[in-house]
Structure 1
Amino acid sequence: MTTEIKAPVFPESVAEGTVATWHKKPGEACARDELIVDIETDKVVLEVVAPDDGVIEEIIKDEGDVVASGEVIGKFKAGATGSDSDATANDGSKDQKQASEARDSGKQDEPAQEEPESGEGPILTPAARRLVQENDLNPNRIEATGKGGRLLKEDVLAHLEKSPASGTQSSAPSTSAMPATDIPEGRPEKRVPMTRLRASIAKRLVEAQQTAAMLTTFNEVNMKPIMDLRAQYKDAFEKKHGVKLGFMSFFVKATVEALKRFPAVNASIDGNDMVYHGYQDIGVAVSTDRGLVVPVLRDTDSLGLADIEKTINDYGKRARDGKLSIDDMTGGTFTISNGGIFGSLLSTPILNPPQTAILGMHKIQERPMAMNGQVQILPMMYLAVSYDHRMIDGKEAVQFLVALKEMLEEPARILLDV
């Protein structure tokens, strides 16, 4: 029985998505609930699984195609096996099967969907034909590996990887008549469309800079007290809670206490209204292969250090695997970004709208510091708070950062609320 493969139903805030990756090829057997295709939205990657044991009979929407919520993207044949679907010729469509029969028997009325590019050329699948046209390639010079001598999308991609300068992308200007062979060797270029997630990040960052009166204030913190405390208790902490004690949990707890004292830093702007939040939901920026995502720690005031570390570790793993849900990244009243894990010594983080402030952590580096009239070598970290001056006065931003610094340098202040 043939059933339709549909894109997931997107949340109201998501208008459309893009087919990111087909994990199964047409005619390839797959088990029930096995991942077959990823749909990327501007917030998260959604997975579509096989409805039953069977095969992908036809792919209607190729990788890179834009799809609407619930739109049909392919067809699935339940109960079939890979060997039963050989006649689909790696794309499962009836038209393609007819094209194979017509080509083998010498007929001239082959379907236009798969007709050869030239009289003696290979038969092109629709996806392969599009790539050939976009890159101005000669299909006769590309090795065809599909059944019956068909030229597949994978064949064209493999050819482009071997000869990156052999064609031009459709998004590049076509005003130059210079042949591809005139491009100097050793200077290859690759034009890749921006992913939906990366495009969304870019839009939001530009929007933040254009709409907010953004300023950044800096300070530095002596990390030695926290490093000593961590070294003293890290083994006992891990043994009891099953998770390592990191620096981020200290920063989250200190941030929560500082936000309580300066509620404007925890607020947001909605049109002409200033919204003060009576809770602290902290977004933690996580870098992935697809781009930066910001999962949110909910009600952090009620979380202990172990709870924070476990949640951050879980978010990090799910972010790398593309398993975060939209709910995981929705909301948030304040954001912490740690560029220090990549070696950044100092930066000016950009706001995450509609939030009005963001904290930037940086690399811990030993520096000579004057302490009680003596010079000591201490592990120091620069801190940066970017804030929206429309909502937060400079005095509040500076005092917030000083309070954060004091709590980190004397962790007992967090417990004593002083």
Structure 2
Amino acid sequence: MPPSTAALQAMSPDAGWHGFFNADARQLGPDVSALIDQDREKELQSLNMIASASYAPLGLRQIEGTHLVNRAPMGLPGRRSVANCEQLDAIENLAIERAKAIFGAEYVNVQALSSTIANVAVLRAILPADGARLLTFDELAGGHVSHGAMRHITGANREVVSFGVTGNGIVDLDQARDLARRTRPHVLIAGPSSYPREIDFAALRAIADEVGALLFTDIAHVAGLIAAGIHANPVPFSDVSTTSTQKTMCGPRNGAFVFAKERFGAAIDAAVFPGLQGPAASNMIAARAVQMEMIARPAFAQLMRDVVANAQAFAAGLEEGGIELYTGGTDSHMVMAYTGESWTQPQLVAGLGAHGILGNAMRAPGRSGEPRTAFRFGSVALTIRGLDTAETMLLGREVAAILRAGPGAPADPGRLRRLQALAAAHPVPSFAD
């Protein structure tokens, strides 16, 4: 609905700055609002299979839009540097206590503005300033860049060695143990960014204990599965763990949770703020408090079971269509599909995007260890939209046909219509407002 005459007059140059504060988004920024509307329509017409993507429930978005967006009190609950924080302290304490209860953590920080910032802060807090040694899950095999990659700040001025997977795609615990014995790392870091199987964190804990290392588990991609009881929970026996608020956690894309042993708490708090960032806005922390209550509900556990079932059905559809999978399948929301040598990574993104299929082109190790081009898919967003296993298996076959056709093949009009109809039949529930 266009703004009224009175509203337009209130926003006229003669109205002064007072008019800004009661104008709605379309009055204040009509050009940007129009672009947001266009992106929203494009999202509705697409099939979002980005593995890190989910849809935040409307209620969490509404909480982030409250007046708390203006509140960012410095410090921790009970130790603020400004007055009138009693309700904000209560909200943050709710987020902390709920996260402790769900994940079995001694200590929780809810202020980090992203999981990557959380990872950087954790390593600053628990590693020696000089001569730090890391043993990490290799990025090619499925680890994350913020686990010590040389091009990332977490790898700067640190000795980093990595373990990978065996020829059949299983995390190579023998290699990890051998490297740990030879390098005596201060910290062993593991977590899946593009690895679709459940990681045996308990076995890595045993390796860390053998060489006197700390265990740091990054559960950002599987935290929702852990909360639902689908994957084993490494938080109680890890020295520190981190997760983002989105992905399988289905929250707004705005930050992270840090779980740790109590003895690391003060150092991690200081490394997050003021070490790396200003204070987190209270609207974000309020959304995290409600998110923790949401993921404790039985309905969320059912959602996660559906997420895994859909990923496995999609993987089966790809295999029926002749596509080889990294590790041969999935235990999670994630599927990694080898795409053949004819596709480059930019061609993959563009080619599948032209069909309304969104995901990430990446690399994964082949059977002999050499890097191969792969495409990473995720099932969380489409499960929230209501797709079932029959539809995701069909989608897998359609995607397989696109991949087999190669980058130069023209789009099949019938396939485009089927994919567009599938998207249209499943609107995003949280886009209602």
Tell me the TM-score normalised to structure 2 length.
0.19
Question: Which has the larger share of strand?
Answer: 1
Larger radius of gyration: 1
Tell me the TM-score normalised to structure 1 length.
0.19
